[in-house]
Structure 1
Amino acid sequence: MATVSATNPYAGLTTTTATGTTPASGNSQEIAGNFQQFLLLLTTQLKNQSPLDPLDTNQFTQQLVQFASVEQQLKTNTSLSTLVAGAKASTASSAAGLVGSNVTVDGSSAVFTNGAASWSLNPAKAAASAILNIKDSTGTTIATQTKALAAGQQTFTWDGRTANGNLAAAGTYTLAVTARDAAGQSVPVATDVSGTVNSVDMTGETPVLVIGANRVPLSGLKSIGQ
């Protein structure tokens, strides 16, 4: 049985978890994850307070308020987890319904997986020089290529090599293109992709639409046709 000092009601107190016995001052996440530990601490303090210096009424009221707040927070976390799980299931179901549909998506973002990421480019006219910047999820440019672009629809494929020669991690990357013609005039380059959704990849955090050679996050969906 735990022994408790009159001057320090928590001294010597231990709590039992699924992994064994740990000090009451142990990992805060373990305490927050088990609501019963808060009740144990409160009742132990009440039973072992000093007769010469009993717990102040205001302090006791404050502890009760904190106790109730912890209970509400734990219940809120559980509710939020349920809502998130439900939202993910709803999104996956909606994405699956797009298979076979003709869609237009924002092609500036593509998923790098299996050693490649592909973008569909459509310059308004031939560009003598185009700077292609690949950016990660934070907006940081990790790779840059310079090349000429012919007019019309074409595919640009990135092998995942960053500026320092390392292989990028799997994930979603964004392409920004700045192109100019032989006279130095700016050339608009569209990256929108239109086509039929062949399949939907749900192995990642968010569904990915597979449209031919392009893999575009569901968040890039712009329109759905017949």
Structure 2
Amino acid sequence: MVSSVSSNSSSSSSSSTSTSNQMIASNFQTFLTLLTTQLKNQNPLDPLDTNQFTQQLVQFASVEQQLKTNDTLTALLTAAQSTNLSNAVGFVGKTVTANGATATLSDGSTKWNVNLPRDAKTVTLTVTDSSNNVVWTEQKSMSAGDNAYTWNGKTSTGTLAPAGSYKLTVSAVDASGASMTPSLAYTGVVTGVSVSGGTTTLKVGDYSIPISDVTSVSS
């Protein structure tokens, strides 16, 4: 079920751009008034120097060009954000895996991906809650590469943990007893998308994930 599809950046960006354009337009009008007044009040016996006049005309053209450039850039930015949002909508309802150690427990289970640089004889997996309390720990052996780890939501006392955010900490040693550092990712279903500050994010559980952190997508 889609919970949200939103864009916060376009309105703030438009407001900021509008203010900037108003300031530039005000300066433009002031410059034009000064130039016109200078021409009207110049001394006929000592008219405005041609080089000075040319320089001021160049400045006049530069201000006008800046106004047009800002309008064009604003239009391009708005179009790009709309495109990003439209593309991101395709993630809604899909299961994604993203880099990270924290996941949301929902529907009684949650899943992480543990990637190991080589085979591990012993892997210690510890799940902690948002208050950093240990709720579950166990040991497994895992092979090199990606390993799916699913926690069924059961605590060490056998009760079911409440829905919420949980962090997985992993330590691993190989057959020779040497330790290794695994990389972690978590998996969840996308329920919404948003664009804020030029960054497109996906809503998975209680988290907003930058789309750049997503490593895999499945139906």
- TM interval, shorter chain, is 0.5 to 0.7
In structure 2, relative to structure 1, the CA distance for the partners of 1:187 and 1:196 (3 Å cut) is: same
Q: Does 1:81 align with 2:77?
A: no
CA distance in 1: counterparts of 2:166 and 2:39, whole angstroms: 68
Task: Tell me the alpha carbon deviations over residues 138-161 of structure 1, each in whole angstroms, 9 at most, x when there is no partner.
Answer: xxxxxxxxxx99556379747xxx
User: 2:194: which partner in 1?
Assistant: 202
Aligned equivalents of 2:38, 2:75: Cα separation in 1 = 35
Structure with greater helix percent: 2
* Matched residue SS, 1:84: helix
SS in 2 for 1:64: helix
Q: CA deviation at 1:184?
A: 5.3
Matches within 5 A, 1:10-89: 32-34=24-26, 35-89=28-82
Taking only aligned residues, the RMSD between alpha carbons, in angstroms, comes to: 4.4
Partner residue of 2:155?
Answer: none
Match runs of 1:83-102 below 5 Å: 83-102=76-95
Quickly say closer, same or farther: Cα 1:101–1:181, change in 2 above 3 A.
same
Matched positions, count: 160
Determine whether 1:107 maps to 2:103: no
2:182 maps to what in 1? Answer: 188
Q: Normalised by the size of structure 1, how large is the TM-score? A: 0.52
In structure 1, stretches of 5+ residues that fail to align are 1-27, 111-118, 131-147, 159-176
Which secondary structure does the structure 1 equivalent of 2:30 belong to? helix
Check conservation: 2:188, 2:204, Cα contact below 8 A. Answer: yes
Structure 2: which amino acid aligns with 1:32? I
What percentage of aligned pairs have identical amino acids?
39
Give yes or no for the alignment of 1:216 onto 2:212.
no
Give the TM-score taking structure 2 as reference length.
Answer: 0.54
What is the CA distance between 1:73 and its match in structure 2?
A: 0.9
